[in-house]
Amino acid sequence: MPLQARYSDGATATMRDVVLALDTEVSSPELIIADQHSFDEIDRWPVGRVFSLPSHSSELRVGVEGRPAGARLVFTGAEPIEVAHALFPELPSHRRREAGRQLRILGFSTLALVSVVAAYVFGVPLIANRVTALVPPQWEANLGAVAEGQIMQIINAEGGFATCDRDPNSVANRAIARFTAAVMEGSNSPFEANITVVRSEIPNAFALPGGHAYYFSALLAKTESADEFAGVMAHEIGHVIYRHGMESLIASSATGLLVGFVLGDMTNVSVAGAVGATLIDSRFSREAEREADRFAAATAVRLGFDPAALATLLERVAGDDTMSQSLAFLSTHPLTIERRAALEAMVKETAGASHAPVFSDAEWQAIKAMCGGVAANPVLSPNLIPSARTHSVPRN
């Protein structure tokens, strides 16, 4: 029985039942396609130019080069497929080549993507820095104002966020302003740092883009020396000078773009994307914290207060528990142990430098008394602060 198939010439929308025969008389073998009933020859396909197409498991579908794109021969059933395979011995190797080609494309594009991700993860802390320098300070000040408005809104809804001492000329506020100016000196920062002590039950401090920083009364209550207070303020001013708020915005925008690209969801609604983005962003955030710590330590050395005092306060307020140690790579802050080690290394380098008080006793007493003892305000959710893209010293 001759080999039967369904045939379309790719020019008209008809499928004809045909019989096939192989012509080996010519220089290169040709497949003769003839009508099943009249045996009239319809076409001749050069066997070497036949290629297979993805087809249903019950079929073998082949096309041919040099004919319309839709020209097809379709073999149905196990036996015709077997015979057809004998007719076109090249098909399996064609198919393997095509599979190999797809695999190479997939492999190379995956490699390209992996290198993009790697370049991003290791390169963005460097690039974000450069890009931040290009952002006009006015934009950053606007951003800070927006963030401040939002934070105030949330905090006011939860019972208020009162400034402890509203008089800018009080002993305490003048001492803080003098210290801030001394820290900022020579930094060439376009911003004016401005630290406000506010009433809150959360032991925390944070800086907003544009220069505003806050020191919470609960943290002040746990601050035992003027050097600890100075260390935290220097750390926050470090965030302002290095424009970390801006940097983290740039970095997380870039992360969103990357994760969107990886997951193929540019609208970024996917939560899986958010998980990946958080992992990458918290890495940048930890790097920013280290940079602010280094700034605080260098400032301590310059102004002559104890660089390790910051670490002492950190340990008192937020010592590492086992959970935070094991999940350190998810945290926005480095481990306290690690921060202490880095700060102490700085201390050793500068051993012998004089430790002069940055605040007089009277000033420090005035600062301690700013909020009139421990704050008595409703509890504020600690999650507010990281979500507002700010930086805080101790972890809550």
Partner 1 sequence: MTVTTEGPWARAEQQGGRPERPGTFVQFTGGRGELFGRLLRGYLLMLPTLGLYRFWLTTTKRRFYWQNTVIGDDRLEYTGSAVQLLIGFLFAIGVFLPIYIGFFYLSFQSSTIAAIGYGAAALLLWFLSGYAIYRGRDFRLSRTLWRGVRFDQKGSALGYAVRRFFWSLLVLVTAGLAFPFMAGNLWRYRYSHTWYGDRQFTFTGSWKTVAGPFYRAWAVFAASIAMAVGASLAGYGAAAGLSVLLALVVGCLCFVYYRSRETSRMFSAVRLGDASLDIEVKARSLLGQYLLYGVCVIGALIVLGLIGYILSSALNANFRAADFSAANIARSGWIGVALGVGGYLATVSAFTLLGEVFIDCGYWMRVARGATILNLDSLDDVRATAEDSSVAGEGLADALNVGSF
Residues that bind partner 1 (CB under 8 A): 6, 8-15, 53-56, 59, 61, 68-72, 74, 102, 105-106, 109-110, 113-114, 117, 135, 139-140, 142-143, 145-146, 149, 249-250, 253, 256-257, 261-267, 269, 271-272, 275, 322-323, 325-330
Nearer to partner 1, 103 or 376 (CB): 103
Q: How far is the CB of 157 from partner 1 (least distance, A)?
A: 16
Residue 111 Cβ vs partner 1, minimum distance, rounded to whole Å:
10
Nearer to partner 1, 127 or 328 (CB): 328
The DSSP output letter for 391 is E
Contacts of 227 (CB under 8 A, 6+ apart): 300, 305, 306, 309, 355, 357, 358
In sequence order, the 6+-apart residues with CB closer than 8 A to the CB of 28 are 46, 47, 48
Nearer to partner 1 among residue 12 and residue 350 (C-beta): 12
Q: What is the helix (H) or strand (E) element at residue 75, kind and residue range?
A: strand 72-76
**CB-nearer residue toward partner 1: 78 or 327:** 327
SS3 237: helix
CB 311 to partner 1: min, Å: 19
Q: Which is nearer to partner 1, 261 or 384 (CB)?
A: 261
CB of 14 to partner 1, least distance (A): 5
Smallest CA-to-CA distance from 262 within 113, 73, 149, 148 is with: 113
- The distance of closest approach from Cβ of residue 223 to partner 1 in the complex, given in angstroms and rounded to an integer, is 29
Q: What angle do CA 301, 307, 312 make, to 5 degrees?
A: 170
Closest to partner 1 by CB, 116 or 182:
116
CB of 344 to partner 1, least distance (A): 19
The string of DSSP letters for 315-355 reads: HHHH---HHHHHTGGGSSS--HHHHHHHHHHHHHHTTT---
